[in-house]
C-alpha cells in the first residue's frame, strides 16, 4: 500500500532528517503520524497523547498537560515556590506539568506514585524520551537554589552522558535559560531555527542538567557533543549509590557559572528527563518534589 502524506508531515520529516545530519535526532522512516498544529495554542485542559508504549511520532513539542502528574501532591510541592508564596489567599497555584515530546521518539511515561512513604513521580522509559516540564520565569537577580531528590534502581549499560550516539541517563533534572542570542554560533542559530520549525520552540540559549552518569566523576561538567548550549553537571556516577533516596540542594547561579563561564539569564523552565532511546533499552526511576527556591 502506498502512503500519501500531507505537506506539513513531509516538512516535519525533512526537518527531522536535517536535524539528524546535524546530530540532533534520528531520521525516522516509514509511515508518520501528522504533526501537531503549531498554530493551536495549548490550553489548561489540553491532555497529552498516551505515554509509554505508543509508537514514535514525528510531531514534537508540547504534547499537553500530564493528567497523571498535574494537580497531585507531588505537583503541589514542586515548581517555583515563590509563585505559591505570592499567590493571593485561596488562589490556585500552578500545578500543571506538561509533556514535551522529542520528534521521532516514543514518550517516557511519568506518573504520580507514593513510594517509600514519599510523594514521587515514577518515570518509566522503554526506548523512549521526552520531558516532564513546567514553564515559568525567574529573573537572574532572583535566582536562588534548586532542591530535588531521586532514587535510581539501575543504570543504562553502554550509555554515555553527552555523547552523540548513546546519550541516555536514568535521571536528569533540566533547567533552561534565556541569554544574549547574538552570541550563538552560526550552527547553533541554525539548530535553534530548525527547532522552532519542528517543535514550535527555539532552542534555549542555555540548558543546564544535573545527571547520573555511568563513568564521569561527580562534579564533572559534560558538554553535549551535538550542541555546546547543553551542559550537564554530574552528581552521581556508576552503581555505588543505587536504590537509595539521594537528596540535593544546588546553587543555580554558581552551577551555571561553573558550566558556562558566565552569569545566567532568566530561568524559563525546569524539567525531568529519563531516557533510554539511544540504547533502545528500558529503565525506571523515581523523583521526589523539585523546588526552585528564590534568593534570600
- Are 134 and 289 in contact, with CB atoms under 8 Å apart? no
* C-alpha–C-alpha distance, residues 49 and 75, integer Å: 20
Q: Which residues contact 293 (CB under 8 A, 6 or more apart)?
A: 81, 82, 144, 145, 146, 147
**How long, in residues, is the chain?**
296
**Per-residue pLDDT tens for 197-254?**
788 888 899 999 999 999 999 999 999 998 889 999 999 999 999 999 999 999 999 9
pTM of the entire structure? Answer: 0.81
- Are 66 and 45 in contact, with CB atoms under 8 Å apart? no
- Tell me the three state secondary structure of residue 62: strand
Cell reading at 81: 515556590
**For residue 139, pLDDT beyond 90:** yes
**Per-residue pLDDT tens for 63-121?**
999 999 999 999 999 999 866 666 666 566 689 999 999 888 999 999 999 999 999 99
Amino acid at each position: 500500500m502506498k502512503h500519501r502524506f500531507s505537506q506539513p508531515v513531509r516538512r516535519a520529516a525533512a526537518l527531522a532528517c536535517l536535524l539528524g545530519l546535524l546530530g540532533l535526532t534520528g531520521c525516522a522512516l516509514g509511515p508518520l503520524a501528522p504533526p501537531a498544529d503549531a498554530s493551536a495554542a495549548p490550553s489548561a485542559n489540553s491532555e497529552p497523547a498516551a505515554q509509554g508504549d505508543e509508537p514514535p511520532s514525528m510531531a514534537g513539542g508540547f504534547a499537553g498537560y500530564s493528567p497523571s502528574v498535574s494537580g497531585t501532591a507531588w505537583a503541589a510541592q514542586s515548581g517555583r515556590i515563590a509563585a505559591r508564596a505570592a499567590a493571593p489567599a485561596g488562589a490556585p497555584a500552578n500545578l500543571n506539568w506538561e509533556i514535551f515530546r522529542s520528534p521521532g521518539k516514543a514518550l517516557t511515561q511519568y506518573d504520580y506514585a507514593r513510594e517509600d512513604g514519599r510523594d514521587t513521580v515514577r518515570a518509566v522509559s522503554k526506548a523512549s524520551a521526552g520531558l516532564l516540564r513546567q514553564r515559568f520565569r525567574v529573573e537572574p537577580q532572583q535566582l536562588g537554589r534548586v532542591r530535588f531528590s531521586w532514587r535510581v534502581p539501575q543504570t543504562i549499560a553502554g550509555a554515555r552522558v553527552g555523547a552523540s550516539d548513546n546519550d541516555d541517563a536514568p535521571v536528569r533534572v533540566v533547567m533552561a535559560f534565556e541569554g544574549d542570542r547574538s552570541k550563538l554560533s552560526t550552527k547553533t542559530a541554525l539548530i535553534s531555527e530548525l527547532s522552532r520549525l519542528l517543535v514550535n520552540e527555539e532552542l534555549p540559549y542555555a540548558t543546564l542538567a544535573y545527571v547520573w552518569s555511568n563513568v564521569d566523576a561527580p562534579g564533572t561538567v559534560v558538554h553535549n557533543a551535538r550542541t555546546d548550549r547543553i551542559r550537564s553537571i554530574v552528581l552521581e556516577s556508576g552503581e555505588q549509590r543505587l536504590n537509595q533516596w539521594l537528596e540535593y540542594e544546588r546553587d543555580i547561579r554558581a552551577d551555571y557559572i561553573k558550566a558556562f563561564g558566565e552569569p545566567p539569564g532568566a530561568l524559563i523552565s525546569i524539567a525531568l528527563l529519563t531516557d533510554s532511546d539511544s540504547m533502545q533499552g528500558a529503565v525506571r526511576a523515581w523523583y521526589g518534589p523539585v523546588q526552585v527556591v528564590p534568593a534570600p
